[in-house]
Every structure is written in C-alpha cells, then in structure tokens.
Amino acid sequence: MNLTQTDWTTQLEADTNAVILDVRTEDECNEGIIEKAINIDIHQGQAFIDAIGALDKNKNYYVYCRSGARSGKACEIMNELGIANAYNLTGGVLAWNGELV
C-alpha cells in the first residue's frame, strides 16, 4: 500500500509492531537512513527474496527507497511472500522531510 509521508509517519509512530525497511543499496544507505531502518537491498536478487522470506510475517513493514519505485516493488514481493502489511513511502527519501542518521 502506498502512503504519503504524513500518513506513513503517523501510522508508523502509532504502530507498536512496526519494522522500517530500507531497500536501497549500501552506498545509498551510507548517505543516511531513517532511524532504526533495516537495510535489505532489492538489487540483491535471490538474496533479497531469501531475506524477505525470513522476516516475521506478523510484523508491519514500512518500506522506502530513494524515490518510492523500488520500495513499491518490494512491497509487491513482500505481499507475494505472505507479508500482508507492507507500506510504501511515496516519494522515498527524496521527499522525506524527517531526519536521516
């Protein structure tokens, strides 16, 4: 599900079962990530699929990338692998007004 930054952050802050997932490359993450995010690079192919498959399917995942395209695809893959609650940050970090660490 695509969410605007306002909806994404509001829902995330109220969610006690949340995991933030950054699907960018390691180099992109080195430029800054949203605090507490876990990085699983979508460009890793089967390793990405394996890592997503190993995630707790009972958690709610807040997913982002640089612009929102890769994270949208990641959410689709997550849904296919049985993770029902994957929320894409529309616009990615390019549209992010919050702090990066």
Token reading at 81: 């692998």
User: How far is Cα 41 from Cα 63, in angstroms, rounded to an integer?
Assistant: 11
Which two tokens mark 68? 């929102």
Catalytic residue among 33, 40, 65, 93: 65
* 18-22 and 2-3 strand pairing: unpaired
Annotation says 29 is catalytic: no
Task: Point out the residues that are catalytic.
Answer: 65
